[in-house]
Structure 1
Amino acid sequence: MFILIIEIVQDYDIIKHADRGKIMKTKKALAYITLISVVVAWGISFVSIKVVLDAFSPVAMAFVRFFIATVTLIIIKQFTNKEKVNKEDYGRLAVSGIFAITLYFFFENNGILRVSANSASIIVATLPVAAIIADKIFYKTKISRLSVISIIVSIFGIYLVIGKDVVGGSLSGYLYMFGSVIAWCGYLIITKPLFKKYSNITITTYQSIFGTLAFIPLLPFETINFQMINGNIILNLLFLALICSSFGNFGYNFAFKELDVGISTLFLNLCPVVTFIFSFFILGETLRFSQIIGSIIIIAAVYIATKPPKVQSELDDNIKKADLN
């Protein structure tokens, strides 16, 4: 909530006449605190989903979670941004919302139901690499040599993480998790033109509305075990809805705006580490040695792939020189 206060208060004269230097330092410090908070929340979210799935089926949980999150986002938008949407953009917002909310969480929740929270978070960590591939296919974006190397290395890391689980019967869980990665790439491709026209809060709110509504036709096939619902499950569900979905996205974009791309991405790569710590203490999950090595490889590959363009160009030049030698 402190993020919203900063954003709103900046519009008042007391801020306009204050020491701008001190304000910028305060915002930067707040950005770091926010970024750390978001990374911890998103890392824990895989554990929370696992807990809530004891009482809710995957789609039922997603609907309740995003119903709460959507109402919260609508309230936030009313106080911070009353931006209007053009009629011709509603279709794109609806389809992108279905990809970002309905399809993504249909696949992710079903995946987490079948594999460990650790493994799920590691597969989702490949999203930046998958996004680079999707951007190349649909927008003909140039891929640097470094990104190509990162993609190949991350595939090897995925192989180490999945390993014996495929033979052991967890293949469907991993397929669901890869489905969530593909759905998120679809969301990025469809949403890209909207980023130039609307603010993040406007896009997120409308996508949440359409994505939540798209769950409704699936609800007759879903179940909720009311006897299993207790205080712990309710708290985890509220955590997912309010912290991870409503404030998480808003907070990350606030931090992303105040800090550079490299710092934001570096912190985000720590999500699987947070998941590992909390899943160990709360769920009693552990990782095989090969999965730990695979996780490190994936995180390193994603970090390299998301380096700023200038750094990528310099590293590419070094690779070319090495090839010539």
Structure 2
Amino acid sequence: MKRYLAITAIIITTAFWGVSYTSTIIALGALSPVQVGLVRFGLVAILWHFLVGKRKSIEKKDWPRLFLAGMIGIPLYYCFENIGLSYTSASSGSLIIATIPGLNLLAGRIIWKERYPAFQLLGVFLSIIGVFLIIFSQASTAGEDSILGNILILGSALSWVAFIRLNQPLTEKYASLTLIYWQSLIGGLSFALFSLIEGKWANFHVSNLNGEVILHLAILTLLCSGAAYLFYFFAQSELGPTVTTTYLNLIPVFGVLTGILVLGEELAFAQLIGGLIVIIGIYLVTKEHQNKVIRDASKTI
């Protein structure tokens, strides 16, 4: 029974994270990319404060790594993503973000000399081809700004790879919810500072926050950054990291469907082909054999 609940939980999680691209685009109609980040992570830091309760303290020597990982994994990642979604579609954004497992494997191979089975390297190669198709095919229908947006989304994917590598030693030492709390707090405070520097609050009008925008800000905060993480960690504890990671391939499926149904987006043929290539590539990367990586050097930064 628990296994079925875990499978349901991870599918719901991927749906929330897939929907987040559409919700971000709608929120960007009323707020700047930095303001969206502030609302999302300012509120979620408060949410985690009450949910996590008593938190394990962080050792002094781990604070530099925790802080750097938090800055890369939240402010940098979401600045790239939110700004990128100002120029590109939810469909393209979700498909590009889906390459994170492949990019992580590629970083391990190039930087840390990790060795992987040939089919996983083929998966990385296919993912890269798919991303290039997505990035440049959209320009013919949406203009050159879409290329900039897609490149920024790719920047967010690379940021998440750095975050994974930096965070790995911390995940082996601290509970996941403890790390999420502190890094969400770092993200929320960083976005607060960035929004003051940006200086766009003077032009903000409460009337911009209509029901639709408020709904999607709530989705981003309560579902995508709140419930989704709780469901994800429950699923991971029951199914293991390999199976859980494989289910994450559903994120671009939900991302594309939501973009089409809610925003009326259309996929160019080359984008569709690129997306299919990405999904096939990520399937190869995240097959069960991924736990059998032979490492020649440390896997972390």
After TM superposition, the score normalised by the length of structure 2 is 0.89
Distance 1:222 1:122, change over 3 A: farther
Distance 1:39 1:64, change over 3 A: same
**Distance in 1 between the 2:237 and 2:264 partners?**
37
Contiguous gaps of at least 5 residues in structure 1: 1-24, 314-325
Superposition deviation, residue 276 in structure 1? 1.8
Selected match of 1:229 from 191, 197, 209: 209
Instruction: Determine whether 1:99 maps to 2:79.
Output: no
Instruction: Determine whether 1:278 maps to 2:258.
Output: yes
Contiguous gaps of at least 5 residues in structure 2: 294-301
After TM superposition, the score normalised by the length of structure 1 is 0.83
Comparing 93-102 with 138-147, which one deviates more in the overlay? Answer: 138-147
Q: Is the 8 A contact 2:242 2:290 kept in 1?
A: no
Q: Aligned residue for 1:205? A: 181
Q: Aligned residue for 2:168? A: 192
Q: Is the 8 A contact 1:134 1:189 kept in 2?
A: no
Superposition deviation, residue 232 in structure 1? 1.3
Superposition deviation, residue 262 in structure 1? 4.3
- Higher-Rg structure is 1
**What is the correspondence of 1:163-312 to structure 2 with a 5 Å cutoff?**
163-166=136-139, 168-169=143-144, 170-220=146-196, 221-223=198-200, 224-309=204-289
**Distance in 1 between the 2:289 and 2:27 partners?**
40
- Aligned residues with identical type, % of pairs: 33
Selected match of 2:17 from 32, 42, 58: 42
Superposition deviation, residue 294 in structure 1? 1.1
**Distance in 1 between the 2:199 and 2:150 partners?**
21
SS at 1:61 equivalent: helix
**What is the correspondence of 1:60-75 to structure 2 with a 5 Å cutoff?**
60-75=35-50
Q: Aligned residue for 2:56? A: 83
**Distance in 2 between the 1:276 and 1:242 partners?**
21
Q: Aligned residue for 2:296? A: none
Given residue 66 of structure 1, which amino acid in structure 2 is its aligned partner? F
Superposition deviation, residue 302 in structure 1? 0.4
Q: Is the 8 A contact 2:242 2:291 kept in 1?
A: no
Superposition deviation, residue 292 in structure 1? 1.1
Q: Is the 8 A contact 2:242 2:286 kept in 1?
A: yes
Name the Cα RMSD after superposition.
1.8
Distance 1:225 1:287, change over 3 A: farther
**Distance in 2 between the 1:254 and 1:205 partners?**
17
